[in-house]
Amino acid sequence: MDESFSRLQIIFLMLISIGISNHVLILPHLLQAAGRESWLTIMFGYVLLIIWSIFLYLIIKSMRNTSIQDWVEERAGKIGSLIIRGGITLFLIAAGMIIVFDTTITVGIYFLPKTHPYIIILTYIFLAYKAANSGLKIVIYISTMLLPVVWLLGIGVSMFTKSNKDYGMLFPVFAQGISTHLHGLEIIIGGSLDMIMLFLIQHKLSKPLNYKTIFIMLTLLTGLILGPTMGSIAAFGPYQAENMRFPAFEQWRLVMIGRYISHVDFLAVFQMLSGSIVRTALIVYLLSELLMGRTKKYNKTALLSSTLIISLPSFLLLSDIIVQDLIQHYYYRCSLWLGIAITAILFFIRYLPLRKDRNNESD
């Protein structure tokens, strides 16, 4: 019997895996692009993402618990399926490379500066590989256990740093023109289109996804960008915040519990690694599913190859400045247009009739 999961479990999986990107990875790039008005850009992006989510839902509804490979092949043939799988594979590889690079760099800079980078990288990808190798069920169970703790820690850091924040720094708005918002929208939407991962796991749901579930998921993910963005600007000011490499993490350094307890930023490591490992494991699992063959040996090779490919930038010890510059100017823009192209093609395929040869096979 195939594994099946509830809508709530999928929400937990998406929130912790995409949430780490929205909560940590997007933030420094968004602040550099839109500055003080980043929080307003998020609100504009939320409206546009709601419109996109309607197309996402209509495509998923048409799939009717059929895997994306079979659904596309039934209507567009093997070539169409290959194009879609290729586009999504590129999307996932880029996302995987960034999460592995960013996480290992963060751990190396803040917590293990005297540890060789290869030790950090190998330990991290080993944990992600083992989780992915155990199957989607284990990844989802890890998500459901970790997300409540991660969420409570996020609420905690927000409450304990309240006295250090001045929300008057969020104003004035529209002082820098519309161009900053346009660049910020690229980052917000390009980063949030990770929700196309739903195309790859919707057939594993016990009940089909409804729009209410997608809307709740999108709203919560937007909140995970909005909260730390407003908090960083209010705590550090717009100019200092946009020059920080990890503004969400820096908020932990402001936490004081009573008069004597401080330096609790080690809890940020738990938050970061919880989301990062789940996200990496999910990406590795989905890549192996897209590349899956007929033999177990081939599937194991696909799983290991996917893990190594997304680790390449980290193993090459690329300059963090160069990588962040590439992400700032190219990654989110390419992610935006690739995600829109995949959605548009799938929406077009939705209206194609079933191929005759597939009908004959069904008969």
- Per-residue pLDDT 10s for the chain (363 aa) are 357 899 999 999 999 999 888 878 899 999 999 989 999 999 999 999 999 999 999 999 999 889 999 999 999 999 999 999 999 999 999 999 999 999 999 888 888 889 999 999 999 999 999 999 999 999 999 999 999 999 998 888 888 888 889 999 998 888 777 878 888 999 999 999 999 999 999 999 999 899 999 999 999 999 999 999 999 999 999 999 988 888 888 888 888 777 777 778 788 888 889 999 999 999 999 999 888 765 677 778 889 999 999 999 999 999 999 999 999 989 999 999 999 999 999 999 999 988 765 554 444
Q: Which residue reads 């930038």 in tokens?
A: 313
Q: Which residue reads 């194609």 in tokens?
A: 352
In a domain, 239, yes or no: yes
What CATH number should be reported for the domain holding residue 204? 1.20.1740.10
In a domain, 360, yes or no: no
**What's the domain range around 82?**
7-352
In a domain, 357, yes or no: no
In a domain, 363, yes or no: no
| Torsion angles phi and psi, residue 5, rounded to 5 | -130, 155
In a domain, 308, yes or no: yes
In a domain, 135, yes or no: yes
pTM of the model: 0.93
In a domain, 89, yes or no: yes
The 8-class DSSP code of residue 257 comes to: B
Q: How many structural domains comprise the chain?
A: 1
